[in-house]
A and B are shown apart, each in its own frame.
Chain A
Amino acid sequence: MMAIESDKVTADVIEVSEYPLMAQRYQIYGVPKTVINESIELEGARPEAAMVGAVEAASRTAAS
Protein backbone atom coordinates (compact mmCIF):
# COMPACT_ATOMS: atom_id res chain seq x y z
CA MET A 1 0.00 0.00 0.00
CA MET A 2 2.89 2.34 0.74
CA ALA A 3 4.09 1.97 -2.86
CA ILE A 4 0.68 3.10 -4.06
CA GLU A 5 0.88 6.25 -1.94
CA SER A 6 4.51 7.28 -2.60
CA ASP A 7 6.59 7.51 -5.78
CA LYS A 8 9.69 6.85 -3.68
CA VAL A 9 8.56 3.38 -2.70
CA THR A 10 9.02 0.10 -4.57
CA ALA A 11 7.30 -2.88 -2.96
CA ASP A 12 7.92 -6.49 -3.93
CA VAL A 13 5.81 -9.34 -2.61
CA ILE A 14 8.02 -12.39 -2.99
CA GLU A 15 6.78 -15.97 -2.83
CA VAL A 16 10.02 -17.12 -1.31
CA SER A 17 9.48 -20.89 -1.32
CA GLU A 18 10.06 -20.77 -5.11
CA TYR A 19 13.49 -19.18 -4.66
CA PRO A 20 15.59 -21.19 -2.18
CA LEU A 21 18.71 -19.16 -2.91
CA MET A 22 16.91 -15.95 -2.03
CA ALA A 23 15.53 -17.57 1.15
CA GLN A 24 19.09 -18.46 2.10
CA ARG A 25 20.49 -15.04 1.22
CA TYR A 26 17.89 -13.18 3.27
CA GLN A 27 17.85 -15.86 6.00
CA ILE A 28 14.12 -16.43 5.83
CA TYR A 29 13.14 -18.84 8.60
CA GLY A 30 9.62 -17.54 9.06
CA VAL A 31 7.14 -15.44 7.11
CA PRO A 32 6.20 -12.73 6.65
CA LYS A 33 9.63 -11.16 6.78
CA THR A 34 10.20 -7.65 5.50
CA VAL A 35 13.55 -6.31 4.34
CA ILE A 36 13.84 -2.59 3.59
CA ASN A 37 16.72 -1.23 1.49
CA GLU A 38 18.67 -4.43 2.18
CA SER A 39 19.35 -3.15 5.70
CA ILE A 40 16.32 -3.02 7.98
CA GLU A 41 14.69 -6.37 8.76
CA LEU A 42 11.31 -6.89 10.36
CA GLU A 43 10.10 -10.37 11.33
CA GLY A 44 6.40 -11.18 11.39
CA ALA A 45 3.40 -8.95 10.84
CA ARG A 46 3.89 -5.49 12.36
CA PRO A 47 1.47 -2.64 13.07
CA GLU A 48 1.15 -0.07 10.31
CA ALA A 49 2.88 2.69 12.32
CA ALA A 50 5.93 0.46 12.92
CA MET A 51 6.21 -0.37 9.21
CA VAL A 52 5.90 3.27 8.17
CA GLY A 53 8.48 4.23 10.81
CA ALA A 54 10.92 1.66 9.42
CA VAL A 55 10.37 2.93 5.88
CA GLU A 56 10.99 6.50 7.02
CA ALA A 57 14.21 5.46 8.76
CA ALA A 58 15.37 3.55 5.67
CA SER A 59 14.68 6.55 3.44
CA ARG A 60 16.64 8.85 5.76
CA THR A 61 19.73 6.70 5.51
CA ALA A 62 19.37 5.73 1.82
CA ALA A 63 22.23 6.59 -0.50
CA SER A 64 20.24 8.37 -3.18
Chain B
Amino acid sequence: MAIIPQQDQEYLKGLFAEKLEHPVMLRFYTQRQSVLSVPGQECGTCSDTHALLNELVALSDKLTLEVHDFVAEQEQAKAEGIEEIPAIVLEGQNKGTVRFIGVPAGYEFATLIEDLIDVSRGTTSLQPSSREVLVTLEKPVHIKVFVTPT
Protein backbone atom coordinates (compact mmCIF):
# COMPACT_ATOMS: atom_id res chain seq x y z
CA MET B 1 0.00 0.00 0.00
CA ALA B 2 1.20 3.46 -0.84
CA ILE B 3 2.41 5.66 2.01
CA ILE B 4 1.43 8.85 0.18
CA PRO B 5 -2.32 8.57 -0.54
CA GLN B 6 -3.19 8.42 -4.26
CA GLN B 7 -5.01 11.74 -4.12
CA ASP B 8 -1.99 13.46 -2.57
CA GLN B 9 0.30 11.88 -5.16
CA GLU B 10 -1.79 13.42 -7.93
CA TYR B 11 -1.70 16.82 -6.23
CA LEU B 12 2.06 16.66 -5.68
CA LYS B 13 2.67 15.57 -9.27
CA GLY B 14 0.89 18.71 -10.49
CA LEU B 15 2.63 20.92 -7.92
CA PHE B 16 6.08 19.59 -8.85
CA ALA B 17 5.38 19.94 -12.58
CA GLU B 18 4.45 23.56 -12.02
CA LYS B 19 7.00 24.61 -9.39
CA LEU B 20 10.18 22.53 -9.75
CA GLU B 21 12.70 24.31 -11.97
CA HIS B 22 16.07 22.57 -11.63
CA PRO B 23 16.87 19.00 -10.56
CA VAL B 24 17.10 18.17 -6.87
CA MET B 25 19.08 15.27 -5.47
CA LEU B 26 17.89 13.72 -2.20
CA ARG B 27 20.90 12.07 -0.59
CA PHE B 28 19.47 9.56 1.85
CA TYR B 29 21.54 8.02 4.64
CA THR B 30 20.01 4.83 5.96
CA GLN B 31 20.72 1.42 7.43
CA ARG B 32 21.10 -1.56 5.14
CA GLN B 33 18.42 -4.19 5.61
CA SER B 34 19.92 -7.07 7.54
CA VAL B 35 18.70 -10.43 8.80
CA LEU B 36 20.63 -9.78 11.98
CA SER B 37 19.61 -7.00 14.29
CA VAL B 38 22.01 -5.54 16.78
CA PRO B 39 20.21 -4.35 19.91
CA GLY B 40 20.45 -0.59 20.26
CA GLN B 41 21.55 -0.21 16.64
CA GLU B 42 18.24 -0.60 14.83
CA CYS B 43 16.92 2.28 12.77
CA GLY B 44 13.20 2.04 13.43
CA THR B 45 12.10 4.54 10.79
CA CYS B 46 14.68 4.01 8.03
CA SER B 47 12.67 1.60 5.89
CA ASP B 48 9.48 3.69 6.14
CA THR B 49 11.45 6.82 5.21
CA HIS B 50 13.05 4.97 2.28
CA ALA B 51 9.63 3.86 1.00
CA LEU B 52 8.25 7.39 1.40
CA LEU B 53 11.15 8.92 -0.54
CA ASN B 54 10.85 6.30 -3.31
CA GLU B 55 7.22 7.31 -3.77
CA LEU B 56 8.09 11.00 -3.64
CA VAL B 57 10.87 11.01 -6.26
CA ALA B 58 8.62 8.96 -8.59
CA LEU B 59 6.33 12.01 -8.80
CA SER B 60 8.79 14.15 -10.77
CA ASP B 61 11.67 13.45 -13.14
CA LYS B 62 13.46 16.42 -11.55
CA LEU B 63 13.81 14.52 -8.26
CA THR B 64 16.47 11.85 -7.76
CA LEU B 65 17.12 9.65 -4.74
CA GLU B 66 20.65 8.58 -3.88
CA VAL B 67 20.84 5.96 -1.14
CA HIS B 68 23.85 5.68 1.17
CA ASP B 69 24.61 3.15 3.87
CA PHE B 70 25.37 5.02 7.11
CA VAL B 71 27.72 2.27 8.34
CA ALA B 72 29.45 1.17 5.12
CA GLU B 73 29.91 4.78 4.01
CA GLN B 74 30.69 6.28 7.37
CA GLU B 75 33.55 8.40 6.02
CA GLN B 76 31.22 10.23 3.66
CA ALA B 77 28.51 10.43 6.32
CA LYS B 78 31.01 11.96 8.73
CA ALA B 79 32.23 14.42 6.10
CA GLU B 80 28.64 15.53 5.61
CA GLY B 81 28.11 15.85 9.36
CA ILE B 82 25.51 13.08 9.52
CA GLU B 83 25.29 11.71 13.05
CA GLU B 84 21.81 10.19 13.09
CA ILE B 85 19.71 8.26 10.57
CA PRO B 86 17.48 8.40 8.69
CA ALA B 87 18.93 11.60 7.24
CA ILE B 88 18.13 13.37 3.99
CA VAL B 89 20.43 15.98 2.44
CA LEU B 90 18.87 18.17 -0.26
CA GLU B 91 21.10 19.22 -3.12
CA GLY B 92 20.00 21.65 -5.80
CA GLN B 93 20.25 25.42 -6.21
CA ASN B 94 20.66 25.98 -2.46
CA LYS B 95 23.71 27.92 -1.29
CA GLY B 96 23.87 26.38 2.19
CA THR B 97 23.08 22.92 3.55
CA VAL B 98 19.52 21.68 4.09
CA ARG B 99 18.97 18.41 5.95
CA PHE B 100 16.10 16.46 7.45
CA ILE B 101 16.91 14.11 10.33
CA GLY B 102 14.25 11.50 11.19
CA VAL B 103 11.19 10.53 9.18
CA PRO B 104 9.66 13.60 7.50
CA ALA B 105 6.07 12.79 8.45
CA GLY B 106 3.14 14.93 9.55
CA TYR B 107 3.83 18.66 9.35
CA GLU B 108 7.42 17.94 8.38
CA PHE B 109 6.27 16.34 5.15
CA ALA B 110 4.81 19.71 4.12
CA THR B 111 8.10 21.38 5.11
CA LEU B 112 10.03 18.89 2.98
CA ILE B 113 7.81 19.61 -0.04
CA GLU B 114 8.26 23.39 0.40
CA ASP B 115 12.01 22.99 0.77
CA LEU B 116 12.23 20.76 -2.33
CA ILE B 117 10.57 23.54 -4.34
CA ASP B 118 12.79 26.27 -2.86
CA VAL B 119 15.95 24.19 -3.36
CA SER B 120 14.93 23.50 -6.96
CA ARG B 121 14.42 27.20 -7.66
CA GLY B 122 17.20 28.59 -5.45
CA THR B 123 14.81 31.22 -4.13
CA THR B 124 12.72 31.58 -0.98
CA SER B 125 9.88 33.73 0.29
CA LEU B 126 12.14 35.44 2.83
CA GLN B 127 11.82 39.23 3.08
CA PRO B 128 14.38 41.31 1.14
CA SER B 129 15.60 42.70 4.50
CA SER B 130 16.34 39.13 5.70
CA ARG B 131 18.23 38.31 2.51
CA GLU B 132 20.33 41.44 2.94
CA VAL B 133 21.38 40.25 6.40
CA LEU B 134 22.08 36.71 5.22
CA VAL B 135 24.50 37.76 2.47
CA THR B 136 26.59 39.62 5.04
CA LEU B 137 27.16 36.56 7.28
CA GLU B 138 30.87 35.96 7.60
CA LYS B 139 31.04 32.93 9.87
CA PRO B 140 29.20 29.60 9.69
CA VAL B 141 25.87 29.16 11.39
CA HIS B 142 24.34 25.79 12.23
CA ILE B 143 20.61 25.94 12.88
CA LYS B 144 18.89 22.94 14.46
CA VAL B 145 15.11 23.04 14.45
CA PHE B 146 13.58 20.40 16.71
CA VAL B 147 10.10 19.29 15.73
CA THR B 148 7.65 16.42 16.19
CA PRO B 149 5.27 15.01 13.55
CA THR B 150 2.11 16.37 15.21
A contact set with B: CB distance below 8 Å: 1-19, 22-23, 26, 28, 31-38, 48-49, 52-53, 55-56, 58-60, 62-64
Contact = CB atoms under 8 A, between A and B. Distances in A.
Nearest to A61: B139
A15 B95 contact: no
A48 B132 CA distance: 13
Interface of A is mostly: mixed
B77 to A, nearest CB: 14
B138 A13 contact: no
Contact of A4 (B102, B104, B118): B118
Interface residues of B, number: 49
B94, B122, B124, B136: residue with the most chain A Cβ atoms closer than 10 Å: B94
A16 B141 contact: no
B84 interface: yes
A34 B96 contact: no
A31 B150 CA distance: 10
Interface in B108-150: 108, 111-112, 115, 118-119, 122-127, 129-131, 133-149
B101 interface: yes
A2 B51 CA distance: 28
B134 A6 contact: yes
Given A2-B126, A18-B102, A48-B130, A37 B142 contact: yes
B143 A15 contact: no
Given A22-B84, A32-B147, A64-B139, A15 B101 contact: yes
